[in-house]
């Protein structure tokens, strides 16, 4: 589906900022019918913003690494598992970090080469490991049992895969427990401070000359930068210890994970990659001196600010004196926010029926979703210009871990996803990233062809 026509005004003057680009895209999405009664919710992705974030990531690490240091920035596919997005990032010099057979298939479909792909999941099957090693994809083993599986595979066939071990520096939690991967009892990696663990890790490397990488990912949203940098420091110190014990630079690459948090409270993009890279350079000077190649695995920080969930307002009602906009975006596209609103508050922007920003006095309102439970709220008591039926609401900063990860409660259709950018004439152009799911597809995916299977038992 191509959407090249546009009824938004021509732009002149300097390139608009992300908020202005978003407003123009909403207006164009309404005008072009990407959103409407038949498809009352859609995901919009700002291609210009994604490219800018990829460039900022490259620039931040280029500024602190010794010339010639091999650096692979691998996008955490889980953040936005959409093939055209992975392709866009690949074209912007970003590889893929995958954590399931599905994510690996998406990265391959996007054309991300094995040498720019890293496999990291905590529950890799023997078959997955075999495939990764056959393809030459980098693998970080999670635990001693997985390392034993790698022993068998490495002994059975030659592989081009760089192999490493994930360790948990146990530096503590951030503000969101569910995303804190470096707690004392985290399920991820080898817990480095457990009794005997460090010595075991050193021995594991000395016994396996092919183990050349060391990996950590200390957490995502909610983990302070200083804590993340502490985790990287611990991993760098361990690599130095192992290399000293080996008497050679056995570990040649450090994978420092992702985790840069995102500011969900304004359009400002903070903290920046540059600030994190500078903090790493001052906390772990040896990280960037050229002694180690580097892998990063950022997800949320590359995509979150560039995604908007746009929904039609079906009704505007009141309950107990509280105005409620009943929209088509709820738990199916903003699962984390609906189930854990204190950890994942979202900014909402209100637009009128034509997709123009709503103005007027601010009124505390609920923005509700279409699902059948009381907690299905995108926002509770948020001050917005009074919303009317037929308006549109936009949940901002939802480009990562939101609309691309559909939750099929109430059999609500997966929305279409569209990338937007300025065309050569300055008007908004859309490209389809994912078609909206049709009701027939929901039936087919829900056993539609297996109707009689249970009745005959
Ligand atoms: C191993 C690993 N790397 C990278 C990431 C990406 O984290 P973020 O999206 O916070 O950058 C995750 C997220 O869960 C992860 O588990």
Q: How far is the CA of 220 from the centre of ligand 1 (A)?
A: 6
pTM: 0.94
Whose C-alpha lies nearest to ligand 1, atom 16? 217
Query: Does 186 have pLDDT greater than 80?
Result: no
96 neighbors 115 (Cβ within 8 angstroms):
no
Nearest CA to ligand 1 atom 13: 220
Nearest Cα to Cα of residue 193 among 170, 227, 176, 215: 170
pLDDT at 280: 97
Choose one of 78, 224, 271 to mutate for the ligand 1 pocket test, by most ligand atoms within 8 angstroms of C-beta: 78
Report how far ligand 1's centroid is from the alpha carbon of 260 (Å): 9
pLDDT class of 425 with cuts at 50, 70, 90:
confident
Angle between helix axes 144-156 and 126-135 (nearest 10 degrees) is 50
| 3-class secondary-structure state, position 345 | coil
Q: For residue 149, what are the β-bridge partners?
A: none
Count of CB atoms situated within 10 Å of the CB of 396: 21
Atom of ligand 1 nearest to the CA of 300: 9
5 pLDDT band (50/70/90 cuts)?
A: very low
What does the alpha-carbon distance between residue 357 and residue 310 come to, in Å, rounded to a whole number? 13
Cβ 139 vs Cβ 130: under 8 Å: no
Position in ligand 1 atom list of the atom nearest CA 298? 11
Mutational pocket test of ligand 1: of 57, 72, 75, 76, the residue with most ligand atoms within 8 Å of the beta carbon: 76
Cα separation of 59 and 276, whole Å? 12
Q: How far is the CA of 174 from the centre of ligand 1 (A)?
A: 14
Query: Given a cut of 80, is residue 205 above it in pLDDT?
Result: yes
250 C-alpha to center of ligand 1: Å? Answer: 26
Task: Give me 297's structure tokens.
Answer: 């695995």
User: Ligand 1 mean position to 318 CA, how many Å?
Assistant: 40
pLDDT attached to residue 114:
98
- Alpha helices (H) along 136-271: 144-156, 197-206, 225-246
The Å distance, Cα 76 to ligand 1 centre, comes to: 6
Supply 45's token pair: 């992705």
Atom of ligand 1 minimally distant from the CA of 215 = 1
Residues contacting residue 217 through CB under 8 Å, at least 6 positions apart: 120, 166, 181, 188, 256, 257, 258, 259, 297
Query: Is 10's pLDDT higher than 60?
Result: no
Does position 41 have pLDDT exceeding 60, yes or no?
Answer: yes
Checking if the pLDDT of 366 tops 70, the result is yes
Q: How far apart are the first and last CA of the chain?
A: 44
Total count of residues recorded for the chain: 457
Cα 427 to Cα 37: distance, rounded to the nearest angstrom? 25
Tell me which of 167, 299, 399 to substitute to probe ligand 1's pocket, judged by most ligand atoms within 8 Å of the beta carbon.
299
Q: Residue 271, preceding bond cis, omega within 30 degrees?
A: yes
Best probe residue, ligand 1, of 54, 175, 220, 401 (max atoms within 8 Å of C-beta) = 220
3-class DSSP state for residue 253? strand
pLDDT, tens only, 144-182: 999 999 999 999 999 999 999 999 987 776 777 766 667
The Cα–Cα gap between 290 and 287 comes to 8
- For residue 179, what pLDDT is reported? 66
Q: What pLDDT score was predicted for residue 426? A: 79
Average pLDDT along the chain:
94
Q: How much distance in Å is there from the Cα of 71 to the middle of ligand 1?
A: 17
Give bridge partners of residue 253 from the DSSP assignment.
213, 293
pLDDT of the residue at 16 = 75
pLDDT band at 3 (very low <50, low <70, confident <90, very high): very low
Residue 230 pLDDT > 60, yes or no?
Answer: yes
| C-alpha 202 – ligand 1 centre gap (Å) | 25
Question: In ligand 1, which atom is closest to the CA atom of 400?
Answer: 9
pLDDT at residue 11 is higher than 50:
no
Q: How close is the Cα of 140 to the center of ligand 1, in Å?
A: 14
> Residue 424's pLDDT band (boundaries 50, 70, 90)?
confident
Closest residue (by CA) to atom 14 of ligand 1? 220
Q: How many Å apart are CA 40 and CA 247, to the nearest integer? A: 63
Three-state DSSP class for 405?
Answer: coil
Note the pLDDT of residue 13: 47
Host H or E run for residue 106: helix 101-109
Instruction: Report the nearest atom of ligand 1 relative to the CA of 120.
Output: 1
Query: Mean pLDDT over residues 129-156, rounded?
Result: 97
**CA 230 to CA 111: how far, in whole Å?**
35
Full DSSP string of 276-332: HHHHHHHH-GGGGSSSSEEEE---HHHHGGGEEEEEEEEEEEEETTEEEEEES-STT
In the prediction, which pLDDT does 190 show? 87
The pLDDT of residue 185 is 75
Does 416 score more than 60 pLDDT? yes
Q: How far is the centre of ligand 1, averaged over its atoms, from the C-alpha of 219 (Å)?
A: 7
Residue 259 Cα to ligand 1 middle (Å): 6
Phi, psi of 135 (to 5 degrees): -80, -20
Q: Is 15 a residue whose pLDDT tops 60?
A: no
Going by pLDDT thresholds of 50, 70 and 90, the confidence category of residue 272 is very high
- 165 CA → ligand 1 middle, Å: 16
Query: Which 8-state DSSP code applies to residue 67?
Result: T
- Whole-angstrom Cα distance, residue 216 to residue 234? 9
Mean pLDDT of 181-210: 89
Beta bridge partners of 394: 310, 349
Pocket of ligand 1 (CB under 6 A): 76, 78-79, 97, 120, 217, 220-221, 257-260, 297-301
């Amino acid at each position: 589906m191509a959407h090249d026509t546009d009824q938004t005004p021509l732009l002149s003057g300097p390139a608009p900022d992300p908020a202005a680009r978003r407003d123009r895209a909403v207006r164009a999405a309404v005008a072009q019918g990407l959103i409407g009664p038949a498809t009352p919710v859609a995901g919009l992705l700002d291609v210009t913003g994604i490219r800018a974030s990829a460039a900022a990531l490259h620039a931040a690490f280029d500024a602190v690494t010794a010339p010639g240091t091999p650096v692979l920035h691998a996008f955490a596919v889980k953040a936005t598992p959409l093939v055209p997005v992975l392709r866009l990032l690949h074209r912007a010099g970003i590889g893929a970090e995958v954590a399931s057979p599905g994510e690996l298939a998406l990265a391959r479909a996007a054309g991300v080469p094995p040498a720019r792909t890293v496999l990291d999941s905590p529950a890799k099957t023997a078959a997955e490991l075999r495939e990764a090693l056959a393809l030459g994809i980098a693998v970080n083993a999670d635990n001693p049992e997985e390392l034993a599986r790698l022993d068998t595979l490495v002994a059975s066939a030659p592989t081009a895969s760089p192999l490493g071990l994930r360790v948990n520096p146990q530096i503590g939690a951030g503000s969101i427990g569910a995303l804190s991967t470096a707690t004392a009892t985290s399920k991820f990696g080898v817990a480095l401070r457990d009794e005997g663990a460090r010595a075991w890790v050193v021995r594991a490397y000395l016994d396996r000359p092919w183990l050349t990488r060391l990996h950590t990912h200390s957490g995502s949203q909610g983990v302070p930068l200083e804590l993340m940098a502490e985790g990287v420091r611990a991993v760098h110190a361990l690599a130095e210890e192992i290399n000293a014990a080996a008497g050679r630079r056995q570990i040649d690459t450090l994978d420092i994970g992702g985790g840069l948090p995102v500011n969900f409270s304004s359009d400002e993009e903070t903290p920046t990659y540059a600030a994190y890279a500078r903090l790493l350079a001052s906390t772990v000077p040896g990280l960037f001196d050229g002694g180690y190649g580097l892998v990063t695995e950022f997800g949320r920080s590359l995509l979150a600010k560039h995604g908007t969930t746009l929904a039609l307002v079906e009704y505007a009602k009141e309950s107990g004196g509280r105005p409620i906009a009943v929209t088509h975006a709820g738990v199916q596209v903003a699962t984390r926010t609906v189930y854990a609103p204190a950890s994942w508050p979202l900014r909402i922007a209100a637009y009128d029926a034509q997709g123009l920003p709503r103005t007027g006095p601010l009124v505390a309102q609920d923005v509700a979703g279409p699902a059948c439970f009381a907690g299905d709220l995108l926002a509770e008591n948020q001050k917005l210009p009074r919303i009317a039926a037929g308006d549109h609401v936009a949940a901002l900063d939802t480009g990562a871990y939101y609309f691309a990860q559909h939750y099929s409660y109430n059999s609500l259709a997966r929305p279409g996803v569209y990338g937007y950018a300025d065309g050569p004439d300055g008007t908004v152009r859309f490209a389809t990233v994912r078609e909206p799911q049709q009701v027939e597809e929901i039936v087919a995916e829900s056993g539609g062809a297996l109707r009689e299977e249970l009745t005959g038992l």
